[in-house]
Amino acid sequence: MSGAEFVPLSLTPILIGVFAAIACALPGNFLVLRRQALIGDAISHVVLPGIVVAFLITGTVSTWPMMIGAAAAALLAVLLIEAIRRLGGIEPGAAMGVVFTTMFAGGVLLLERSDTSTVHLDVEHALMGNLESLIWLDAFGWGSLLDPEALAGLPPELFRMGLSMIGVIAFVWLFWRPLKISTFDEGFAQVMGMRTNLIGMSLVAVSALAAVAAFDAVGSIIVIAMFICPPAAARLMTNRLAAQVGWSVIFATLSAVLGYVLAGYGPLWLGAEDSVSAAGMIATVSGIVLGLAAVFGPARGGTQG
Amino acid sequence: MKRIALASTDGQTMTGEAPDQSPIAIRGMTVSYGQKPVVFSVDATFPEGSMTAIIGPNGAGKSTLLKASLGILRPLSGTVTVFGQPLNSQRHRIAYVPQRASVDWDFPTTVLDVVLMGLSRELGLLRLVRPRHRDKAIECLSRVGMAEFADRQIGQLSGGQQQRVFLARALAQGADLYLLDEPFAGVDAATEKAIIAVLKTLKAEGKTVVSVHHDLSTVSDYFDRVLILNTSKIAEGSVADAFTEANLQAAYGGRLATAQVAGIPVAG
């Protein structure tokens, strides 16, 4: 594959996929260890109606309205869960499940009934994103990386996702110790004077940021996969948290790159005509990586290992 | 305005009397889960240099009292002072050892790393772990006989070894007040001996130790004071005064057969 073909068509989608995967995998490590892995799943579901409503109000798919819409939807979800739990006396797990799926379904219906033909926002994109379309039309080869004119034509999603990833990295780096201690032993952390509720809520907020930014680029399928699969696979590779986080970044990157390439070229290699969904393939690869780690990972079986 | 609000929520009485200077003083503590009070209107004082067992039947609110006193649970009412000051200003003087079962021992971390958590106040958010921190952690591990396990993953330890690591972490905090939640639950005899030796050393150094305790037969060997609890406080005082058959019957009632009480070396 030549640079003339690779740089405009594949470089930016792969980078966006990698950024999205890393941004979700990093907080995913702590969510998985806190037995809150499905929070990522939940967030990616509840934010959909918020994003759609934000679009209906502003008429554009831009970052801030989407973030505000998503945050409002998340808040509404929390209130609804509490209301159902208290009024109906229903156990929290069931209350959450009902709220998440109902809000996502509501978002899908809303999306279907609104005119979003001018933007990349429809049911298919909500599920699978539009990674393949985030191409760099102004590029003509590797040389474009040094060409200011071509660089100006980079898809805005690249910067949005890149910034989100940097924000997530900064959060995990800065609050590494509180995150680690409060995840391992919340009572101890509280007595030390740590604001464990605040730490937990910040983790969820950062996860939401990653989910919303990634959702826009890659849809909700890989958001869910990236929160859980790379960290879970990484846990099976090591018994050290720092090493686990390192492995999760490697697995996230591997899944994004390999998934994108396999989706684009795999079917051709097998003699088929069309490529398949990149997001779907990335999620599949991350699942396969987890499967391999479960069979061959050196730290599998935890305490018996 | 703020000052007044802080003073009233943090337990200083507004009547002007001097606050209790003891390491931990609990006043009118009531905690409930739902409608049912688990701890009801408990007053307790733990004098400096004392070693107190909190005893009582299952569900008597022993752990709950400890957690509420430390701000882990929110009480319905009640105030706590630590060395005569609000809890939040004295947290650096407190080491808390939670129940071993309260954490996930499959967490990806090493023994040394857990002990280093006891130094987090010193390390702050981003300061690097230096050799002197490492040495301090190893020294605390030696005090509980666990130095050679420093690099082990915590999940590979036995229950007793895990409990000793928790105690080492508390030692690393260099606190004046040690609060332990059932440190002897499910541990081997060697561990029990090691832990009690460390606690007695702490007491000899003038530190204050409070421990939720289950085994009535060891109370008079290990501790010099008891707080007997069954939702309300039944008795509080020196082992000689408070650890009596009558108080135990009052706390445990039918759950403690007279024959069992007869086997316990109670006071009097």
Is B266 a domain residue?
no
Whether B96 sits inside 8 A of A183 (CB atoms) is no
What distance in Å separates the CA atoms of residue B236 and residue B32, rounded to the nearest whole number?
Answer: 22
CB contact under 8 A, A188 and B98: yes
Does pTM top 0.95 for this prediction? no
A191 vs B96: CB contact, 8 Å cut-off? Answer: yes
**Interchain CB distance below 8 Å, A177 and B120:** yes
Q: Which residues form the domain of B96?
A: 2-252
Dihedral over Cα of A28, A39, A160, A17: its sign = positive
Tell me how many residue pairs between chain A and chain B have CB atoms under 8 A apart.
Answer: 76
Question: Is residue B267 in some structural domain?
Answer: no
Cα angle for residues B226, B228, B230 (degrees, 5° grid): 165
B261 and B245 in contact (C-beta within 8 Å)?
yes
Test B117 with A33 for CB contact under 8 angstroms.
no
Residue of chain A nearest B127, judged by CA positions: A177
B142 has pLDDT over 90: yes
In this structure, the number of other CB atoms found within 10 A of the CB of residue A57 comes to: 11
* Count of C-beta atoms within a 10 Å radius of residue A113: 10
Asked whether the predicted pLDDT for residue A136 surpasses 60, the reply is yes
Does B257 reside within a domain?
no
CA distance A142 to A6: 9
Tell me the torsion sign for CA atoms A215, A218, A224, A227.
Answer: negative
Banded pLDDT at B12 (limits 50, 70, 90): very low
CB atoms within 10 A of CB A218: 32
- Whether B1 shows a pLDDT value over 60: the answer reads no
CA distances to B53, B150, B215, B240 from B218, rounded to whole Å, are: 10, 30, 6, 14
pLDDT by residue (tens digit) across A80-117? 888 888 888 888 788 888 898 999 899 888 888 877 66
Which band of pLDDT confidence, cut at 50, 70 and 90, is reported for residue A216?
confident
**Among the listed residues A269, A256, A282, A273, the one whose alpha carbon sits nearest the alpha carbon of residue A12:** A256
Q: What is the pLDDT of residues A4-35, one digit of tens each?
A: 788 888 899 999 999 999 999 999 999 999 98
Q: Do residue B67 and residue A33 have CB atoms under 8 angstroms apart?
A: no
Task: Name the average pLDDT for chain B.
Answer: 89
Give the pairing type, strands B85-86 and B77-82. Answer: antiparallel
Any domain includes B258: no
Q: Is the pLDDT of residue B263 over 70?
A: no
Average pLDDT of chain A, as a whole number: 88
Is B130 within the bounds of a domain?
yes
Look at residue A189 in the predicted model and tell me its pLDDT.
96
Cα separation of A187 and B170, whole Å? Answer: 13
* Contact (CB, 8 A) for A83 and A102: no
> pLDDT at position A91, please?
83
Q: A45-49, A289-293, B86-90, B247-251: which range is least confident on average? A: A45-49
What is the average pLDDT across B133-162?
Answer: 96
Q: Which of B96, B117, B155 sits opposite A302 (nearest CB)?
A: B155
Cα B10 to the chain's mean position, in Å? Answer: 20
Instruction: Check residue A134 and give its pLDDT.
Output: 87
pLDDT value for B191: 95
CA distances (Å), A140 to each of A6, A143, A145, A146, A158, in order? 9, 7, 10, 11, 18
Question: How do B232-238 and B225-230 pair as beta strands?
Answer: antiparallel
Angle, in degrees to the nearest 10, between helices A196-235 and A241-269: 50
Domains of chain A, start order? 3-304 (1.10.3470.10)
Supply the pLDDT for residue B104: 92
Residues of B with CB under 8 A from a CB of A: 67, 70-72, 88, 91-92, 94, 96, 98, 102-110, 114, 117, 120-121, 123-126, 153, 155-156, 169, 179
> Does residue B166 form part of some domain?
yes
What DSSP string describes chain A?
--HHHHIIIIIHHHHHHHHHHHHHHHHHHHHHHTT-THHHHHHHHHHHHHHHHHHHHHSS--HHHHHHHHHHHHHHHHHHHHHHHHHH---HHHHHHHHHHHHHHHHHHHHHHS--TTTT-SHHHHHH--GGG---TT--SGGGGG-HHHHTTS-HHHHHHHHHHHHHHHHHHHTHHHHHHHHH-HHHHHHTT--HHHHHHHHHHHHHHHHHHHHHHHHHHHHHHHHHHHHHHHHTT-S-HHHHHHHHHHHHHHHHHHHHHHHHHHHHHTT-SS---HHHHHHHHHHHHHHHHHHH-TTTTGGG-
Q: Best mutation site among B10, B69, B90, B125 for testing chain A: the one with the most A CBs within 10 Å?
A: B125
Q: Are strands B36-46 and B24-33 parallel, antiparallel or unpaired?
A: antiparallel
pLDDT for B145 equals 95
Q: Which residue of B has its CA nearest to A236?
A: B108
Whether the pLDDT of residue B78 is over 80: the answer is yes
Overall average pLDDT of the B154-182 stretch: 96
Q: Pick the residue from chain B with its C-alpha nearest to A190.
A: B72
**ipTM of the predicted structure?**
0.88
Mean pLDDT confidence for A280-284: 92
Residue A170 pLDDT greater than 80, yes or no:
yes
Smallest Cβ distance to B102: which of A180, A187, A302?
A187
Which pLDDT belongs to residue A181?
Answer: 97
Q: CATH no. for residue B136?
A: 3.40.50.300
**Residue B262 within a domain:** no
Report the range out of A34-43, A275-284, B191-200, B244-253 with the highest average pLDDT: B191-200
Is residue B167 within 8 A of residue B97, CB to CB? The reply is yes
Report the alpha-carbon distance of residue A261 to residue A79 in Å, rounded: 42
The answer as to whether B268 is a domain residue is no
Q: How many domains does chain B fold into?
A: 1
Amino acid code (one letter) for B117: M
Give the list of residues 6+ apart from residue A247 with CB closer than 8 angstroms, or none: A230, A233, A234, A237, A238
Query: Which residues in A have their CB inside 8 Å of a CB on B?
Result: 33, 174-178, 180-181, 183-185, 187-188, 190-193, 235, 238-241, 243-244, 299, 302-303, 305
